[in-house]
Amino acid sequence: MLRIVLINILLFLLPFLIYAAYVVWVKGVAPNRAMAGAPFLWLILAGLAVLCIGILTLVEFSGGGPGGSYRPAVIEDGVIKPGGID
């Protein structure tokens, strides 16, 4: 669960990181002043768009096929066998 939350936070912050890197690298602004005067509304909207695309991609390409049945994880001989959708 924590992994999913951290991935979502990274996806949201990705436009901010790219903008800051652009300002520092191309415009030569000091790293501590990179976000001064940043277009925060557009960065927030871009972050939400990237986050939504990431979530939709995860939903579309993960999980089992339609009509599959869930098989839970089991412990056999002290070894955890992962579950899945058959």
Mean pLDDT per 10-residue section of the chain, whose length is 86 residues: 92 96 93 92 98 93 80 93 87
Whole-angstrom distance, CA of residue 47 vs CA of residue 49: 5
Whole-angstrom distance, CA of residue 23 vs CA of residue 49: 21
pLDDT tens by residue, 60-82: 888 777 788 888 999 999 999 99
In 1-86 the beta strands, taken as DSSP E runs, fall at 70-71, 74-76, 79-81, 84-85
Please give the model's pTM, rounded to 2 decimal places.
Answer: 0.73
